[in-house]
Structure 1
């Protein structure tokens, strides 16, 4: 054993922007419990009270609610089958977005070798940066790390920190 895991609740919109993220629960905590304890749950419950109709999609691990739509486990008719297909297509945005997030920030794809509280901050930071990249339409593959030289082009070996930073910025960015 000897490792910790973090269970992160994340909500994306149709444009792959993160609208809510809660990176703080131990890995053994069930997704439904995380949702029940979240501010998102409170907001959605209040929307129902005030007759505001907004919907989230969740997988079958969640309880179906007026605002949280889950797939039918055993569709009984054509309407339920069509609903399940649409649900699956729409939820694929989440899976695709998580994949983009992990590819963009490789630290999320493997083990984060930090204290759990720092790991939560890393996850949150990556989410913020993910949204910035998406809002600015920055492509993920614009920088090929393997093609970078060991040192900037104008490196002479005797630069102080500030001048070296400028050389790095001008060379790589």
Structure 2
């Protein structure tokens, strides 16, 4: 992630929580745009944040698993220009939602286990990720 165009873009253009957030596991450094769980929660709101983070990541990972099962091109990896890849992923998301709406079966995927492991403030600086995470934890989970 650190050397990717996505990371460079987010470092240069991400100004606030309203610009969106990426959820990552504890293997990543917490950044203003990349929220990771607290390694050693010291407050109840940190515990609640970690629980919500885990549930959300689980849901996202499950969705990615469904998409990969339904659309083999996502399972193999797409080696194309990033703009084209975004369009393919969006098309897969739309088709997946249509399949759900039309009650298309998912083929026993539901039994697979998924691996777990009003904020306009602009944050900048070396501790920006931790500051954003603390702000979210205290604002939503206290």
TM range (shorter): 0.5 to 0.7
- Alpha carbons 2:67, 2:96 under 8 Å: kept: no
Relative contact order, CA 8 A, sep 6+: which one is greater?
2
TM-score by length of structure 1 reads: 0.45
Q: Give the C-alpha shift of residue 131 in structure 1.
A: 2.3
Where in structure 2 are there 5+ consecutive unaligned residues?
Answer: 107-142
Alignment deviations for residues 9-44 of structure 1 (CA, whole Å, 9 cap, x no partner)? xxxxxxxxxxxxxxxxxxxxxxxxxx1222221222
- SS of 1:120's partner is coil
TM-score by length of structure 2 reads: 0.53
Q: 1-side partners of 2:35 and 2:9: how far apart?
A: 16
| 1:52 corresponds to | 16
- Gap change, CA 1:103 and 1:46, over 3 Å in 2: same
Where in structure 1 are there 5+ consecutive unaligned residues?
Answer: 1-34, 113-118, 145-173
Q: Whose strand fraction is larger, Structure 1's or Structure 2's? A: 1
Q: 1-side partners of 2:49 and 2:22: how far apart?
A: 14
Q: Which of 82, 90, 99 in structure 2 is aligned with 1:138?
A: 99
How many residues align? The count is 99
| 1:154 corresponds to | none
